[in-house]
Amino acid sequence: MICVMPTTLPPVRLEPLRTACSDCNLRELCLPVGLNPVDMEKLDGLMSQRKVVPRGESLFRATEPFHALYAVRTGFFKTCLTSEDGRVQVTGFQMAGELLGLDGIASGHHSVDAEALEDSSVCVLPYHDLEHLARDFGALQTQLHRIMSREIVRDHGVMMLLGSMRAEERVAAFLLNLTQRLRARGYSATELVLRMTREEIGSYLGLKLETVSRTFSKFQDEGILEVKQRQITVLDLDALQRLVSSAAC
């Protein structure tokens, strides 16, 4: 179970202390995957600071100039794209070990808002330095490319979800994805606390919040889930799996 939701914290605060990748318990999930200890020390030198982002605050906003990538250290984020006419689309949810800000490289300014859904902290990776460092040692370059490519592959998966799945399938896929990512981080794959509202889930899945709510209720009636507000217990993982990979009728 992921928890921790303290209520008062100063707004975006810089931590002077250096947090080394080589010591980080996320090093098998995060940017340093596959780096040897020597290389990792070089990466440590790059990471100038940590940043704390309280729940509800933004790490960065669309149109702001892009300077750095951010690795989620603790907490949970969402990224939102806002269209000219004001429509908002949640493009992703990020948890520990995942990178934020890749969209900013293209144009030099961010294209989405990144907001903390619970009190969070990130490692700041100044992009200029990172790019320079990647030039000097290839393992980091390779890893950076992999991460960007993985994001592209993930996005294609979301297109599939939005383009050709029905509501129940989308919700099932969403829950399965969450459980998998939580399990990779050592959390229970069956007990989860949603950090986002029904509306945010709906935005991500291309559904209205009422439809998300109804689908949760339906899954509960069918014995697949137990839903208590944001506290979800997965009772039948196989049923979820069957839902997402059920041939299109």
Partner DNA sequence: CGTCTCCTTGAGGTTGGTCAAACCAGGTGG
Partner DNA sequence: CCACCTGGTTTGACCAACCTCAAGGAGACG
- Residue 247 interacts with, from DNA, a second copy, none (CB under 5-8 Å by kind): a second copy
- Residue 74 interacts with, from DNA, a second copy, none (CB under 5-8 Å by kind): none
Residue 195 backbone class (left: φ over 0; alpha: ψ -120 to 50; beta: rest): alpha
State which residue, 2 or 172, has the beta carbon closest to a second copy. Answer: 172
State which residue, 16 or 163, has the beta carbon closest to DNA. Answer: 163
Taking each helix axis as running N to C, give the angle between helix 138-164 and helix 167-184, from 0 to 180 degrees, rounded to the nearest 10.
Answer: 160
Which residues bind to a second copy, rule: CB under 8 A?
A: 81, 83-89, 91, 102-107, 111-112, 131-132, 134-135, 138, 141-142, 144-153, 155-160, 162-165, 203-206, 245-248
Identify any residues that bridge with 227 across adjacent strands, giving them in sequence order: 232
DSSP reduced 3-state for 30 = coil
- Residue 141 interacts with, from a second copy, DNA, none (CB under 5-8 Å by kind): a second copy
CB of 20 to a second copy, least distance (A): 25
Which residues bind to DNA, rule: CB under 7 A?
A: 7, 166-168, 194, 197-199, 206-214, 216-217, 227-230, 249
Q: Are 151 and 143 in contact (CB under 8 A)?
A: no
**Rounded Cα–Cα distance for residues 146 and 151 (Å):** 9
CB of 175 to DNA, least distance (A): 13
How many helices (H) and strands (E) would you count in the chain?
A: 7, 12
For the chain, the distance separating the N- and C-terminal CA atoms, rounded to the nearest angstrom, is 35
- Residue 209 interacts with, from a second copy, DNA, none (CB under 5-8 Å by kind): DNA
- Of 131, 153, 154, 134, nearest to 142 (Cα)? 134
CB of 220 to DNA, least distance (A): 7
